[in-house]
């Protein structure tokens, strides 16, 4: 979801001097493992009930954002067997 290097930089900016280095690495690893439980969806994913309509951006905030060029990533928890 977020490249490891970016995650480390973000957390270092916020947690420098707060956590020992070992705990910091463990935190980064735990956050990375969260990715295993989530999958990226496309905005037009069938399960969202999305179908193109001339009025779609007028009635749907998400469609309006996409129509206006926003980059949106959607994630959902992976289905468990």
What pLDDT score was predicted for residue 5?
93
Domain that holds residue 54: 39-76
Low-confidence ranges of the chain (pLDDT < 70): 43-55, 57, 81
What pLDDT score was predicted for residue 50?
58
Contact 15, 8 (CB under 8 A): no
Q: Are residues 5 and 20 in the same domain?
A: yes
Q: The tokens 């468990």 sit on which residue?
A: 80
Number of domains in the chain: 2
* Angle value at C-alpha 71, between 55 and 37, nearest 5 degrees: 110
Q: Is residue 71 part of a domain?
A: yes
What is the spatial distance between Cα 19 and Cα 30, in angstroms, rounded to a whole number? 15
What pLDDT score was predicted for residue 76?
85
Q: Are residues 30 and 1 in the same domain?
A: yes
* Angle value at C-alpha 16, between 14 and 21, nearest 5 degrees: 125
What pLDDT score was predicted for residue 51?
60
pTM comes to 0.55
What is the spatial distance between Cα 10 and Cα 40, in angstroms, rounded to a whole number? 22
What pLDDT score was predicted for residue 28?
92
């Amino acid at each position: 979801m977020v490249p490891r290097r970016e995650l480390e930089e973000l957390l270092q900016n916020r947690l420098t001097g707060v956590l020992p280095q070992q705990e910091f690495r463990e935190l980064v690893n735990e956050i990375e493992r969260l990715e295993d439980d989530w999958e990226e969806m496309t905005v037009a994913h069938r399960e969202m009930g999305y179908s193109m309509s001339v009025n779609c951006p007028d009635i749907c905030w998400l469609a309006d954002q996409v129509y206006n060029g926003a980059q949106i990533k959607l994630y959902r928890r992976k289905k468990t067997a």
